[in-house]
Structure 1
Amino acid sequence: MSMQSARMESQPSLVLRETPPENRNAGLSGDLNQVKIQDLPVFNFENIATATNYFNLANKLGQGGFGSVYKGVLQDGQEVAVKRLSRTSRQGTEEFMNEVTVISKLQHRNLVRLLGCCIEGEEKMLIFEYMPNKSLDFYLFDPVKKVVLDWQKRFNIIEGISRGSLYLHRDSRLRIIHRDLKPSNILLDGELNPKISDFGMAKIFGGSEDEANTRRVVGTYGYMSPEYAMEGLFSEKSDVFSFGVLLLEIISGRKNSSFRNHELSLSLLGYAWKLWNEEEIVSLVDPEIFSPDNVYHTLRCIHIGLLCVQELAKERPTMATVVSMLNSEIVNFPPPQQPAFIQRQIELRGESSQQSHNSNSINNVTVTNLQGR
């Protein structure tokens, strides 16, 4: 069965282009009336249930605060990933609405593709293209699996994330700040090409808006920029900061949160800064990819990463500049200033860790833990 034939036919209120505009979202309930899915294919629940073997645990790919993700195979053989919203998750409902609104309007080779949705009764699901190689963290932080990520593949991943981020910031019909760039949100296709995923926390900017403020900070500590984590201010430079952390993790093969027992209580950013000032930055490079043939290239990438994580947002490059740096269109880089969070962060909720994507709110700050989803 093709995607077209999988659309909902039994409930005309959900075949949105056939419904009068004033009743266009009549089939949705509660806050979901706000979701604009006019151009999004709608799948039949029974077809999705069959595709996932009725949401069999053997097909479960992951679990988050929003609900669960399952692998499915449609009747025409197409593999899909089904994000099934938990009926009890208020946060998940908000993210569902946001993700539909944002990603249904996007198309780029480095963004995961939304194929459609299923909204039937209390069931709310998003159907994505299936990524056979899971997420970046699955390989990057595993001492055995990381061997598949040689230098060329890692650089290709860095480039792809930068191009996808640039598209979000400048080249799409909308200006979008992702707000949760991290390894578990970078999916890998069959050739290990990266695709940015999970737009549940993304924010659309309108007109000439460059910066926004929120009382509800969402994201993952370790990847949040200081102005966002501390003041609720976010902009393109917030994503640039997250990208810089990602880049340093990809080069080093270490999590930003892996320095808990470091004698100097340094974060990855602090450790990189220490090595930079001691002119020992080559020690940061993952031995798995270290080679005299690519050492110049890897050190340039570290330099770019340090520029991206500078404490002051105005000092960080834009993603357009980052892409030019990676492509060697810009040859001379300015020296980096001190990064933010060079000391290991003490999380607001304490040292205890929660399940992936579970969130706590303390003084209007919502956080997710540092583990991959």
Structure 2
Amino acid sequence: MGCRCSKLTACCWVSEQNGPIHEAPKVENEEKSEVDGLPTFREYTIEQLRIATSGFAVENIVSEHGEKAPNVVYKGKLENQSRIAVKRFNRSAWPDARQFLEEARSVGQLRNHRLANLLGCCCEGDERLLIAEFMPNETLAKHLFHWETQPMKWAMRLRVALYLAQALEYCTSKGRALYHDLNAYRVVFDDDGNPRLSCFGLMKNSRDGKSYSTNLAFTPPEYLRTGRVTSESVIYSFGTLLLDLLSGKHIPPSHALDLIRDRNIQMLTDSCLEGQFSNDEGTELVRLASRCLQYEPRERPNSKSLVAALIPLQKETEVPSHVLMGIPHGATAFSLSPLGEACVRMDMTAMHEILEKIGYKDDEGAATELSFQMWTNQMQETLNSKKKGDVAFRHKDFRAAVECYTQFIDVGTMVSPTVFARRSLSYLMNDMPLEALNDAVQAQVISPVWHIASYLQAASLFALGRENEAQIAVKEGSILEEKRNATS
């Protein structure tokens, strides 16, 4: 049984100080088809990212670090409904704006299905932010060291090792061989349960020049001597990850090498893996880890030879990663509430009944402001617009509801997520799905953890024919609703 852990990184990144991105040989078709849908790297405004993260809401934090690495990672959603991870650095982390932009643009040219790719950055005033693909299924550290339902299977551990080696090989082929502080928190899992290498480790913190924040016991020996990271140092860190995969624990390399020299492999192997692999397979992985952990950097293998060594070890290659990981996949993999089911089957009548039944109980704090300002003529007119909208909504006169709620919203004195939700559904009833989507997004900006806003986004996306994005929004709504029910 695993222990429960605190919030862990759901995304990460990568960089090299010297040299431009080099042209690489043409990438095979499989890779190209998997990354074609990604947008090119771009720069965002702080306001765009503020909206995407609901004002950098605490509820959207997926990881945060202390004084040694003062930055926070938020999950967010762009206007096109793409989910993102936003890493917001401490003001002093990147004092040189030009260096930050050059590094980010360079890393942003990488595109590979083994990376959590960098999509953009923001550099306004003292703000330094990176935007990457959002990976929803936690980190390797979570699944190896803090698992709750099942330990990671041997076949999946071998797959993680191979995919990670392929990510490093790709980065090397593009002239980005340096990865800073490679560890189990830098490996994240996508919607399909496939492991990806976070792109955050490619970006070196320019403030203190440090490449490692982990315990010195896990730091490459040459880094301790020179203070510089090399491509061979990355291979050493890969060796420590192989030890993590083999043992299910974060064992210092020196201790692991002592066990290997004493031929005490059983002490090194995770007891949860008993019966899942042969002695030959275990011995081969130990041999590979030992080669990566050689004291002399020149004696370590390169990423290309790591890939070649790991391919023959793969097992259960036809089984999807989410199955091996025991991760729910797709909207059918989790139970839905009546509202969630109504959303999936696009039952607008049922959704209307539910919204009407719950009233305005989700508008926390709204009533106080309204009652305080009721004495003004303008507020009285605004309240009348809302009341007329509510009557029209109740009687299913959705055109009138849109008009009245618009009058209430345009005054701007009072912000109500429920009014946006009601107007969103009214737009759907009037066959205006894009307007409905915009209102549902606005409702979630006001109330980031409100499940109804996610469900309305899903219904709007279904109406727009954007099936995959709609299924993701349904899943998000279900998760938020489950959390809400658990705490109420």
Q: What TM bracket, shorter-length normalisation?
A: 0.5 to 0.7
Contact 2:144 2:151 in 1 (8 A): no
Q: 2:71 aligns with which of 67, 70, 74?
A: 67
Unaligned regions of 5+ residues in structure 1, if any?
1-38, 204-214, 257-267, 330-373
Structure 1 residues 163, 294: CA separation in 2 closer, same or farther (over 3 Å shift)? same
The code of the aligned residue for 1:67 comes to N
Determine which structure has more spread, i.e. the larger CA radius of gyration: 2
The CA deviation at 1:98 is 6.4
SS of 1:69's partner is strand
Q: Report the equivalent of 2:117.
A: 113
Contact 2:107 2:202 in 1 (8 A): no
Q: Report the equivalent of 2:160.
A: 157
Distance 1:74 1:283 in 2: 48
Distance 2:143 2:96 in 1: 27
What pairs with 1:102-251 in structure 2 (closer than 5 Å)? Answer: 102-144=106-148, 147-169=150-172, 171-172=173-174, 174-197=175-198, 198-199=200-201, 201-202=203-204, 216-219=209-212, 220=214, 221-251=216-246
SS of 1:54's partner is coil
- TM-superposition CA deviations, 1:52-97 (whole Å, max 9, x none): 1111101011123252111112233221111122224347979844
Structure 1 residues 119, 278: CA separation in 2 closer, same or farther (over 3 Å shift)? closer
SS of 1:325's partner is helix
Q: 1:255 aligns with which of 247, 250, 253?
A: 250
- TM-superposition CA deviations, 1:279-313 (whole Å, max 9, x none): 22133111122325444323211210011001111
What pairs with 1:270-309 in structure 2 (closer than 5 Å)? Answer: 270-291=254-275, 293-309=277-293
Unaligned regions of 5+ residues in structure 2, if any?
1-39, 314-488
The code of the aligned residue for 1:163 comes to Q
Structure 1 residues 231, 44: CA separation in 2 closer, same or farther (over 3 Å shift)? closer
What pairs with 1:48-59 in structure 2 (closer than 5 Å)? Answer: 48-59=49-60
Distance 1:93 1:309 in 2: 36
Q: Does 1:311 align with 2:295?
A: yes
Contact 2:169 2:303 in 1 (8 A): yes
Distance 1:91 1:42 in 2: 18
Distance 1:92 1:54 in 2: 25
Larger deviation: 40-49 or 105-114?
40-49
Q: Does 1:84 align with 2:88?
A: yes
Contact 1:137 1:183 in 2 (8 A): yes
Contact 2:46 2:124 in 1 (8 A): yes
The CA deviation at 1:194 is 1.9
Structure 1 residues 139, 96: CA separation in 2 closer, same or farther (over 3 Å shift)? farther
What is the aligned length?
266
The code of the aligned residue for 1:183 comes to A
Whose strand fraction is larger, Structure 1's or Structure 2's? 1
TM-score (norm 1): 0.64
Distance 2:211 2:102 in 1: 13
Distance 1:293 1:200 in 2: 34
Distance 1:120 1:327 in 2: 45
Whose helix fraction is larger, Structure 1's or Structure 2's? 2
Distance 2:181 2:297 in 1: 17
What pairs with 1:87-98 in structure 2 (closer than 5 Å)? Answer: 87-90=91-94, 96-97=100-101
The code of the aligned residue for 2:272 comes to E
Structure 1 residues 89, 233: CA separation in 2 closer, same or farther (over 3 Å shift)? closer
Distance 1:311 1:106 in 2: 31
Q: What is the RMSD of the two structures over their aligned residues, measured on CA atoms?
A: 2.7
Q: Percent identity?
A: 27
Q: Report the equivalent of 1:361.
A: none
Contact 1:131 1:190 in 2 (8 A): yes
The CA deviation at 1:112 is 1.5
